[in-house]
Structure 1
Amino acid sequence: MAALLHWDPDEFLNTFLSLFVALLLGAIIGAERQYRQRNAGLRTNALVALGASAFVDLGMRLTGNEGATRVLAYVASGVGFLGAGVILKEGANIRGLNTAATLWCSAVTGGYAGADHEVEAILLALFVLAGNTFLRPLVAFIERRPIDASATEATFEVRLAVSEWERDAVRDLLYEKLEAAGYPVRRIEEFEREGGLELVATLSPTSVVADELDAVLRDLEQSAEISHAAWSSRASD
């Protein structure tokens, strides 16, 4: 009965508008994720935006702007945990970072709506859609560009196939050649392979000139103890 006695039509309409805008904008943001078949799609983004809006609106109703500010801090951390649930690690690849960031932006969109800044909420939703849509061609263009080893900071690995009996001598030779070429060695590991061992030297994250590293490998292959030599690179952690 107390709720009916203290019911304020204006406050109710304001809350309805905030929740409606948050749900609508969250659904629009989520529709793009749903179209691309991401883990967190239309309903998830819509509910995140709606929940954030409801929390902020309730905080304002109870204690004004101060309450909304406190609630926003908890919303930001809470959605961070929710976003962690859509991040997947598959081997050396990590998926879901963009979807997690989109969930975070959906929460902020709902926060704007809950704080009665619907126009700003619409603006943010448009920017989120622009980031997920119009930046994709730029990302594709950058990823299709050939990688220049001398212009990247990466972790490089040198792999040598050797016999078990020559392991120690080749390890010393590998370390000596790489150090002489100016490429410090972080560690050298060995793995059992059919017909012998494979030594893997991991270089410290640095810029590598491909021709220089190729020259080191050609020099190493002159040794009778080494049956195969190659190098590869991967993004630094």
Structure 2
Amino acid sequence: MLLLIQEYLDSAHFITQSEVNKFLMTTLLCGLIGTEREFRGKQAGLKTMIMIGLGSTLFTVLSIKIGLGSQDRIASNIVTGIGFLGAGVIFKEENRVKGLTTACVIWIVAAIGMAVGGGYYVQSIGVTAVVLAALLIFPFVESFVEHHHTQRTYRIVKKYENESLDSYEDYIRTSRLKLHRGKQELADGIITGSWTAVGSPKNHKKFVDKMLRDKKILEFDF
């Protein structure tokens, strides 16, 4: 009698111990990634990552259970669905695009959930370790690079006095910044120019301070 009950409980209509283990592992792995996101105050934090991971695991388990001859029938659509979800956290602010890292993390968390749901535990643990290492270490690398390689866009507007804006390009160069000339135009006696400059924050400040003291400049965006 007990054997029959156990077999019934282990049938496709009830959750098995193996599936419980999968959901617990997903919660742990995705929770670790979500904790890092929560700590840094990102849009998608602990709860979001756990929910995405659990949803992916459940869909994968269901795909295996009810997929019949095509066990990837449901799971294959997770990739498409997560793509729409990730796109929702990407937005443009001024001249920068934000949310790309969060979108990528959402995508990889779904992949980890699918791996656990499919029984690929070693792969899911390994990828989680790599993701955590990247999220924890790379910000320090980015900070170091940004301190020595900051990019800014400058725009200068002044009254046209029979001369180009080449002297301002020289100011950028003498401030030890690498520049790329943007659009320059002359209209109604007003000349406008823009440049993209790359260098250290110290050299950017040097250039900005020099421009702020120039009384000929009508507008200065920096």
Do these two structures clear the TM 0.5 threshold for a shared fold by scoring above it?
yes
Provide the TM-score with structure 1 as the length reference. Answer: 0.64
Match of residue 12, structure 1, among 10, 13, 16: 16
Secondary structure of the corresponding residue to residue 135 of structure 1: helix
Secondary structure of the corresponding residue to residue 161 of structure 1: strand
Rounded to whole Å, the distance in 2 between the matches of 1:25 and 1:65 is 30
Q: How many residues align?
A: 191
Alignment of 1:104-119 (within 5 A): 104-119=107-122
Rounded to whole Å, the distance in 2 between the matches of 1:186 and 1:133 is 36
Rounded to whole Å, the distance in 2 between the matches of 1:52 and 1:43 is 14
Rounded to whole Å, the distance in 1 between the matches of 2:180 and 2:90 is 34
Provide the TM-score with structure 2 as the length reference. Answer: 0.67
Q: 2:79 is aligned with what amino acid?
A: A
Structure 2 gaps, min length 5:
1-5, 170-178, 199-206, 208-215
The Cα of 1:30 is off from its aligned counterpart by 0.2
CA RMSD of aligned residues (A): 4.0
Q: 1:188 to 1:127 in 2, by over 3 A?
A: same
Name the counterpart of 1:150: none
Q: 1:130 to 1:185 in 2, by over 3 A?
A: closer
The Cα of 1:201 is off from its aligned counterpart by 3.6
Rounded to whole Å, the distance in 2 between the matches of 1:159 and 1:230 is 6
Q: 1:157 to 1:102 in 2, by over 3 A?
A: same
Could you tell me whether the CA contact under 8 Å between 2:59 and 2:74 is conserved in 1? Answer: yes
Q: 1:58 is aligned with what amino acid?
A: L
Could you tell me whether the CA contact under 8 Å between 2:158 and 2:219 is conserved in 1? Answer: no
Q: 2:158 is aligned with what amino acid?
A: A
Q: 1:93 is aligned with what amino acid?
A: R
Name the counterpart of 1:56: 60
Rounded to whole Å, the distance in 1 between the matches of 2:87 and 2:118 is 26
Structure 1 gaps, min length 5:
148-153, 208-213, 215-226
Could you tell me whether the CA contact under 8 Å between 2:157 and 2:191 is conserved in 1? Answer: yes
Name the counterpart of 1:200: 192
Secondary structure of the corresponding residue to residue 71 of structure 2: helix
The Cα of 1:118 is off from its aligned counterpart by 1.5
Match of residue 84, structure 1, among 67, 84, 87: 87
The Cα of 1:67 is off from its aligned counterpart by 2.4
The Cα of 1:80 is off from its aligned counterpart by 1.6
Q: 1:105 is aligned with what amino acid?
A: I
Name the counterpart of 1:45: 49
Over the matched positions of the two proteins, sequence identity in percent amounts to: 24
Name the counterpart of 1:224: none
Name the counterpart of 2:37: 33
Name the counterpart of 1:162: 159
Could you tell me whether the CA contact under 8 Å between 1:159 and 1:198 is conserved in 2? Answer: no
Could you tell me whether the CA contact under 8 Å between 1:31 and 1:41 is conserved in 2? Answer: yes
